[in-house]
Amino acid sequence: MSLLNIVLPVFLVIGLAYGLRRSGFLQISWTAGLSRLVFYVAAPALLFQSTAQHSFDWGVSIPTLLVVAGIAVVVGLGVYGVARNLPPERRGVLAQGASRSNTVFVGLPLVLNAFGETALARASVVIAFMVVVDNLLSVCLLTLPHEQHSGRKPGLGWHTTLQILRNPLILGCGGGILYSSLGLELPVSLDRALALIGRTAAPLGLVCVGAGLQLRSLRPELPGVAVTAAVRLVFHPLLTYIGLRLIGVEGLDLGVPVLLMACPTAIVSYIMAREMGGDAQFGAAIVIGTTVLSFLTLIGWIALLRLA
């Protein structure tokens, strides 16, 4: 019951949003505005506030971040190599879906439920760092198949790089770390305002996930979704767990990144697939399938982390 009490609230909110959308009470067109509110306002406010009040031990944080990022790259490129016989529009989508975790919309609520607000600062740094890594990796994975198929030399455009650097999650966390490094304290009124805004990130993010579920698109894509889910929900977090234990990481520094990497495929992976010539239907099915299946796998990961 204690494990269910961590995971079940997250999926009850997802299920509520799904039911509201199916009943017509919540229009799917509304979720675009809610998603923008979470991505550009609420989540950056939460990340800034949690990091601005925390002193970081970079001797611990940097090795952890390098291991988490390195494993994500290995998983993405490994799946990309194994899937070499797939059509170009599906190969990159599969590799991206296996390596990119939904750290904001699902990960943040889970970390809060599992570890409390004391873990937010650690989660914020991991999320901001992985936003950079995931975006760079996704661009490469989605571009390479088309470039190789056409015989052109692959490259990463300046426009894409600039978009990554302007990411509000990176700016929010980076601003908070800078504020903390300068030894400044947030004024009480600003701190409370950021807290009020930041607390909306988790519930609104889950509403976006639930309202966007289209279970009918799963059926024709079940084999590919099953393979992706096995890597995304089991193999990837297992490698992260092993890698962090090998360098002596434990406690919250172990639990937070592993739980974040055990989350389902990020919703933004579908958007990137659609905009970069990937199979959008396959991308949507991966997001939905991993979200549904993660209810069981997340309970298992939380149980393992409690025993570690």
The answer to whether residue 24 sits within a structural domain is yes
Q: What is the pLDDT of residues 270-303, one digit of tens each?
A: 777 776 778 878 888 898 889 889 999 999 999 9
The answer to whether residue 93 sits within a structural domain is yes
State the average pLDDT over residues 134-153.
Answer: 70
State the average pLDDT over residues 146-169.
Answer: 59
**Residue 255 pLDDT grade (very low, low, confident, very high; cuts 50, 70, 90):** very high
Give the count of domains, the chain: 1
The answer to whether residue 161 sits within a structural domain is yes
**Residue 147 pLDDT grade (very low, low, confident, very high; cuts 50, 70, 90):** low
The answer to whether residue 308 sits within a structural domain is no
Instruction: State the alpha helices, DSSP H only, in 151-235.
Output: 158-165, 168-181, 188-198, 201-211, 222-230
State the average pLDDT over residues 168-176.
Answer: 80
**Residue 263 pLDDT grade (very low, low, confident, very high; cuts 50, 70, 90):** very high
Instruction: State the alpha helices, DSSP H only, in 30-119.
Output: 30-37, 43-52, 58-82, 88-99, 108-115
Whole-number Cα distances in Å, 13 to 85, 91, 218, 296:
39, 32, 21, 16
The answer to whether residue 103 sits within a structural domain is yes
**Stated pTM of the model:** 0.78
What is the three-class DSSP state of 247?
coil
Q: What is the pLDDT of residues 33-85, one digit of tens each?
A: 887 888 788 888 887 887 787 766 665 588 999 999 999 999 999 999 999 88
Residues in Cβ contact with 217 at an 8 Å cutoff, skipping those fewer than 6 apart? 281, 284, 285, 288
For residue 254, the enclosing domain spans 2-210+219-300
The answer to whether residue 307 sits within a structural domain is no
Q: What is the average pLDDT score of the chain?
A: 84
How confident is the model at residue 106, as a pLDDT? 87
Can you give the C-alpha Rg of the chain in angstroms? 19
User: Which domain CATH number covers 156?
Assistant: 1.20.1530.20
The answer to whether residue 197 sits within a structural domain is yes
The answer to whether residue 108 sits within a structural domain is yes
Structure-token match 């279970």, residue found: 215
How confident is the model at residue 262, as a pLDDT? 95
